[in-house]
Structure formats: C-alpha cells, structure tokens
Amino acid sequence: MEDTIEFELPDVGEGVAEGEIVAWHVESGEHVSENQTVVEVETDKAVVDIPSPVDGAVRSRLAEEGEQVPVGETIITFERDGPETSADAGDSETGTRESADDGTVAPSIDGVATDRTEACSQNGRVFARPSVRRLARKTGVDLAAVSETSGLQVTRRDVLAAASDGVATAEHTSVDAVEETDHGVDVDRSASSGNTAAEESPADRDRTLAMPATRKRARELGVPLDDVSTDETCDGHAFVGPEALESFVAARKHERAERDQHAEPVSDRPERRIPYTGVRRTIGERMEQSMYTAPQVSHHDTVDASELVETRQQLEPEAADQGVDLTYLPFVMKACVAALEAYPVLNAELDEDNGEIIEKRYYNLGVATDTDAGLMVPVVEDVDRKNLLEIASDVQSVVERARDRSISRTEMENGTFTVTNIGAIGGQFGTPILNYPEVGILALGALAERPRVVDGEVVPRPVLPISLTSDHRVVDGSDAARFTNELKRYLENPSLLLLE
C-alpha cells in the first residue's frame, strides 16, 4: 500500500513569506530517500536545500523553476513507500504517462497522466491546490468568486486577501479571469457568454483551453493562446496543444525573418532583461525602505594611517602562521566598537511604535559583501569580546559563505552597526545607505599614499578616507563628528586597541 504525501514549502526562515524555485533535483517517478535534497529554494537572503520528508516516489512537481511560491503552498507530492514497495519505485506508474485509446500519449501534468476528456469534464471549477481549498473553507471564502491574480490559479495570498475584505461574491469575478480545473486545464473566458466549438479562425472562439505547461510556455514566448489556430477541441472548445503552439511560433519567426530581410535595422545595440527577483529585489526593497524612512546624512573625513599600516605589517606574519588573512578591516571594526562605546547613540535603533531610542550594549557588526547575487551583509557577533585575529577569522568565514550562498539567514540578522569597504573596488568617499533599522554605517575608501601637511611640509602619507552615514532622527551632526574623531584616534594610534 502507498499513500500520497503533499509537501508544502516550509518556513525556511523567520519572516520569509515566499521562495523562488531555483532547481529541482528529482524528476516525476523518481524514487527518493528521506532527507534527500529534492529542490533548491531561494529566499530573500539565501539558497536553501529542501529535503524529502519520506522514503518513496515523486508523484508530481507542482512548481516550475523560477516560480515564486508562497510558504505553505504544496510544491511536490510523494507516494510514500509501503511494506511491499521496492527501491525501484521510479518504475511505478506514478512517474509514467498513460496511453489514450488511440495509442497516443495522454496530456501530462508535471508527470501525472491525465486523459484529456477527463481533464475537460469539470471546467466549471476553479483550480486551487488542496491546501488553498482548506484555507478557503476555514476562512469562509468562495473560491469561485476570487479573482486569480497570478493568471494560473487561486493562491493562499488571494484567499487571505479575500478574507481580509470579507467573503468574496460572484460579481467580483472578471469575465477575463483565468480558471483551471482540478485536472489542470486552463479556461480563458474571453466572452461573457457562449459555448461554441473551436473553428479555424481564433477570433470566433469564446474559450481557449490548454494544459498548464503549454500556457506557461505561451507566456514565456509572449504568445496569446487565443491567437493560435488549432483544429483540436476539448469539451466543445478550442484546445491548443504544444505542437500547435510551437508551429504558430515557428510561423511567426519565419514571417518576422522575411520581414526583417527587407527592413532597415532600427538599432545594433541589444538589451538584456534580468529578472528582478530573489536577493536583488530584497536589496532594492530594503534600500527603498531605508531611504524613505530615515533622513540620512553623511560625514566625511580622512585618517593618517601611517601607524596602522606599520602595525599590520608587523602582525601579518603571525596571522599568516595561524592561517588568518589579516586585512585592515578587523582594525577598523575594533576601532568602531571603541568609538561606539564612547558614543552609543550610533549603536542604536529607533522604536517608532513605542517612541524610544534603543541603545544597544552589544556590538554585532555587519560586513557589507559584494556577491554574485547582490549586496549581502553577514554579521560578526560580539566584536567587543574578540581579538584582532578572531575578528579577522570570523570576517573571512562569513564573507566566504555569503559569496557561495551557504550562509544561514540568522547569520545576517541582529546587526547593530555596518561597515562597507568601497575602497576595495576603488574610490575615496561615498554616501552609504543605512542598513535599516541600524542608525549608522561606515564606508572605507581606498587606502593610498596622498599628500599631507606634516610639520609645515607636504609629504606623502598613507591616508584612509572614511564616510559615516547616520539617521538624523537619532544622531545629531555633532554626534557623528565626535564619533568620527574617536574612530580616527584609534586608527591613528592602533596600539590603543590593545587596551580594548
């Protein structure tokens, strides 16, 4: 005996509402073991491996790679192994397609065979996953009256939105809304009435049916299914199969190629479109929140880093013997803690709801890190309790894991102050945006020899440019200047850090 397991996208981190399917590691019909990775999911901060909850066979995958899926949505179903199930479950009929009466393969939904006649027999129902239907029943929402915002199916978000507005009524449903049956056939309602069978001219239709995979492919290609000619029918309506769609696309390409041969080129400069999703979208949203929430002001200064350079050169061989790459960043972080202890208003957060400024007596410093996925800010905790080599080792560890996307979400939370090194790429000064809700962020410019006046003479000295951005609701300009002066005092006299 086998039983079907519906596996919902779990809450992989506090505050995560949805995840993007990055890559599937299993196919329909494949046998899996408990805790075997079946899919990679990208949240707003990290890529997470999701394991199988059971031993069994994959029945169907219910989300496509690149699709954003809400937490709690069913993404895959399994047939759990029973006492008589062998490890060869990949050959079970759950992973194969059934043959139609005419010997052809019946349409398949994510690997689950579905006879077209059966699929078309219930197109009066709205398509929604079982978890969504349970939520609708629990909240008293009429699924048939909920307008589908995704263009595919009613989701948890749709149901929750309808519940917050009161139980939806039938008049809310647009005649252009897209519905699906429980067997996965989409129904386009492009007219308010009528039930005419498909004809040669697409303009004569009242409905166009297609399997979800075909409809998804059409969206990717930018092809309205109503424009695709077909002589196939399903329950009296036009049915567009994958062959008809690809034939239509090929014909369009041929027509366009013929037209382009005789047209003047508009431009020889192409465009590249990159999906604004995942980490990149989260970064944008948080930067927007920061800029439109906190009035931000930047303060700039320079540090004579002569002694800092000399001290690092003296300590570098010892650090290397311990396998630690000692950069200037640990010195800066240690100096930041000393300055934050002197001016705790920079190590704070504004609690607007309670009308309080929270000065924190712990020092968790974020390190802004440039990664292939965008800017990430891993946090080194308790910097005040660590020596330079411990800080350097921790920085190296979290930065590497941020760049290879193996860092956990919790390691990028609970920061109290952030340091970003723009000088590693180039440049001197900047106006870094706060890592909200923190009230301070320090940017380091490129450390290089620059002319300085020393004892009345212009001489070359190693100079470190610094830029401090602060939340002006909490931090006055005088506080920012005093903090910067204290920071400079420690960086220009790094031996003082031995006392911290």
pLDDT digits (tens, 9 = 90+) for 67-111: 888 888 889 999 988 654 444 444 443 333 333 433 333 333 333
Predicted confidence band of residue 298 (pLDDT cuts 50, 70, 90): very high
**For the whole prediction, is pTM greater than 0.75?**
no
The CA-CA-CA angle for residues 13, 330, 346, to 5°, reads 70
Q: Which of 64, 96, 128 is the last residue of a domain?
A: 96
What ranges make up the beta strands (E) of 122-255? 178-180, 186-189, 207-210, 233-234, 237-239
Q: What is the largest CA-CA distance in the chain?
A: 98
Beta bridge partners of 225: none
User: Cα angle vertex 239, ends 233, 242, to 5°?
Assistant: 130
How many C-beta atoms lie closer than 10 Å to residue 71's C-beta? Answer: 17
Average pLDDT, the chain: 78
Helix 477-492 crosses helix 306-321 at what angle (to 10 degrees)? 60
For 396, left (φ over 0), alpha (ψ -120 to 50), or beta? alpha
Q: Decide if 147 contacts 128 (C-beta within 8 A).
A: no
Domain count, the chain: 2
User: At 406, is the pLDDT very low, low, confident or very high (cuts 50, 70, 90)?
Assistant: confident
CB 19 within 8 Å of CB 68? yes
Taking each helix axis from N to C end, the angle separating 477-492 and 329-342, rounded to the nearest 10 degrees, works out to 130
Kind of pairing, strands 237-239 and 207-210? Answer: parallel
Residue 31 included in any domain: yes
In a domain, 41, yes or no: yes
150 inside domain? no
- The answer to whether the CB of 103 falls within 8 A of the CB of 35 is no
Backbone angles phi, psi at 20, to 5 degrees: -100, 130
The radius of gyration of the chain's CA atoms, rounded to the nearest angstrom, is: 30
Q: What's the rounded Cα separation, in Å, for the pair 187 and 120? A: 9
In angstroms, the CA 461 to CA 481 distance is: 23
Phi/psi for 72 (5° steps) reads 95, -10
Range 487-493 average pLDDT: 97
Domain annotation covers residue 445: yes
Q: What is the CATH number of the domain that holds 295?
A: 3.30.559.10
Confidence class for position 152, pLDDT limits 50, 70, 90: very low
Cβ atoms < 10 Å from Cβ of 289: 13
Domain boundary (75, 96, 117) is at 96
Read off the CATH number of the domain in which 49 is found: 2.40.50.100
Contact (Cβ atoms closer than 8 angstroms) between residue 183 and residue 122:
yes
Whole-Å CA distances, 478 to 131, 219, 481: 56, 56, 5
Closest by alpha carbon to 360, among 349, 369, 370, 350? 349
* Residue 449 in domain: yes
Quick one: tokens of 442?
A: 């320090």
Handedness of CA 240, 243, 245, 248 (dihedral sign): negative
- Catalytic (active-site) positions: 472
For residue 285, tell me if it sits in a domain: yes
What pLDDT shows up at residue 127? 59
Per residue in 205-232, pLDDT (tens digit) is 666 777 767 777 787 777 887 788 887 8
Determine the Cα–Cα distance for residues 394 and 71; give it in Å rounded to an integer.
32
Residue 258 belongs to some domain of the structure: no
Which of 107-116, 239-248, 403-412 is predicted with the least confidence, judged by mean pLDDT? 107-116
Lowest mean pLDDT among 259-273, 325-339, 419-433: 259-273
Of 39, 66, 96, which residue sits at a domain end? 96
448/37 Cα distance (integer angstroms): 48
Q: Parallel, antiparallel, or unpaired: how do β-strands 233-234 and 237-239 relate?
A: antiparallel
Going by pLDDT thresholds of 50, 70 and 90, the confidence category of residue 185 is very low
Of the listed ranges 6-20, 68-82, 288-302, the one predicted with least confidence: 6-20
In a domain, 346, yes or no: yes
Domain region containing 50: 1-96
Q: Hunting for tokens 């139609």 — which residue is that?
A: 100
